[in-house]
Amino acid sequence: MKPVADCVIHHLAAAALFPRPYRGKGTPVGWEVEERPHVSIAARAGTIVWIGPAGQLSDEVTLAADCRFVNGAGRLAVPGFVDSHTHLVYAGDRSDEFEMRVQGRPYLDILAAGGGILRTVEAVRARSEEELFDEAAARLIEALAWGTTTIEIKTGYGLDLPTELKMLRVIDRLRRELPVRIVATFMGAHAVPADRRADPDAFVDEICRDWIPEVAKTGLAAFNDVFTENKAFSVAQSRKILEAGLAHGLRPKIHADEINVLGGVDLAVEIGAVSADHLLMTGPAGIARLAGSGVIPTVLPGTSTYLMEAHHAPARAMIAAGLPLAIASDHNPGSCQFLGAGLVQTLAMLQLRLTAAEALIAGTLHAAHALGQGDRLGALEVGRQLDAVLLEATSIRQIGYRAGQNLVRQVIIGGQPVFQA
């Protein structure tokens, strides 16, 4: 029986397909991209039901009476980009810190001048939900214009329960009012507030005892994240926070090995984290630990670039070890203002030495796995959601090559056109 379609992207110049998509723990990682020419893509109720030669559409697909047609002539279709690590909801401006950093001022000087994460915390606490929503919505619309169809947004600029819940409500409103797919992550363990540093264990106990149950009760977060680092949270504290989240239905994520190797990767594997992120300092032992674990290693080339680090995450070694590497923007007010998916693709190629195919897969399919949604998002394949970006390009190689140039002309999410340049 022929599939029935209510949405068709017709007469594409080409579509970027993944012949060997990674399907989760225990399956091999494929890095090939097939640029199949002269195809159409058909979907029903947002799910792809057929991909094939444009000339065979009418023979092989039954078109519903109200079928929507999207003209793909001259366009290259790629899967919608997935940004699996952002801090998109924030307030305030830290451009002065950026300039100080460029001038070589050490981070402690920036902190002494009133900068750093706690500056953002003060700004977020002072803003109303409406103000936070308006600022975040503008950023989200920009991300959509660059082809991001799914995005993760963390809390973590409240560091008290009322503000963390306020951030979750803002994220939920963004999810309800804008067309981008949004995944919320609770990150109350982003930093230790200045007034709690005398007894950080008591702060951790409060997060586990009071905050996590309350967050879980709202149903507004899917994940629970923690910053495992010196002057943030130890491995033991991180384990306690992540286990508390698991007990209340929040899946674990972890910021690991960004500045120091403390054992965050070991903890991620031990606890079954969906992803371990940053991994700037991860060495051969950490890579071996991740191999076959099912934890998605997520690296953030924009952050190491923005912070002018001497080196970047060992992406090539991770790929050589067979890891399903993901990339994300880490957009935030202090250490990374990159947001556009095309820019992240460029940085992945320039800084991490990924090929165009590797960068595309890392920023779509593997990033979807980093959100636990790799079975339904991140690739143009029958059975997956029709999240597609139509580019004014002849090859995926042009995405990273044309640095800073937005090639996106149309965005479709769940079979619905939501953006046109």
* Residue 161: CATH number of its domain: 3.20.20.140
Q: Are 321 and 305 in contact (CB under 8 A)?
A: no
The answer on whether 59 is annotated among ligand-binding residues is no
Q: Are residues 197 and 297 in the same domain?
A: yes
* Predicted local confidence at residue 108, as pLDDT: 60
**pLDDT band for position 146 (cuts 50, 70, 90):** very high
* Predicted local confidence at residue 342, as pLDDT: 98
- Which tens digit of pLDDT belongs to each residue from 202-216? 999 999 999 999 999
Q: Are residues 386 and 356 in the same domain?
A: no
The answer on whether 397 is annotated among ligand-binding residues is no
Least confident of 137-141, 155-159, 174-178, 228-232: 228-232
Residue 226 has pLDDT above 80, yes or no: yes
Cα 102 to Cα 91: distance, rounded to the nearest angstrom: 22
* Predicted local confidence at residue 114, as pLDDT: 72
The answer on whether 94 is annotated among ligand-binding residues is yes
Tell me which of 351, 369, 387 is where a domain ends: 369
The answer on whether 157 is annotated among ligand-binding residues is yes
In a domain, 374, yes or no: no
The answer on whether 258 is annotated among ligand-binding residues is yes
Q: Are residues 66 and 137 in the same domain?
A: no
Q: Are residues 407 and 387 in the same domain?
A: yes
When pLDDT is averaged across residues 278-282 and rounded to a whole number, the result is: 98
Q: Are 117 and 334 in contact (CB under 8 A)?
A: yes
When pLDDT is averaged across residues 183-200 and rounded to a whole number, the result is: 96
Q: Are residues 252 and 264 in the same domain?
A: yes
In a domain, 60, yes or no: yes
**Average pLDDT over the chain, rounded to an integer:** 97
The answer on whether 312 is annotated among ligand-binding residues is no
The answer on whether 401 is annotated among ligand-binding residues is no
The answer on whether 331 is annotated among ligand-binding residues is no
The answer on whether 87 is annotated among ligand-binding residues is yes
The answer on whether 311 is annotated among ligand-binding residues is no
Domain extent, residue 72, equals 4-79+379-420
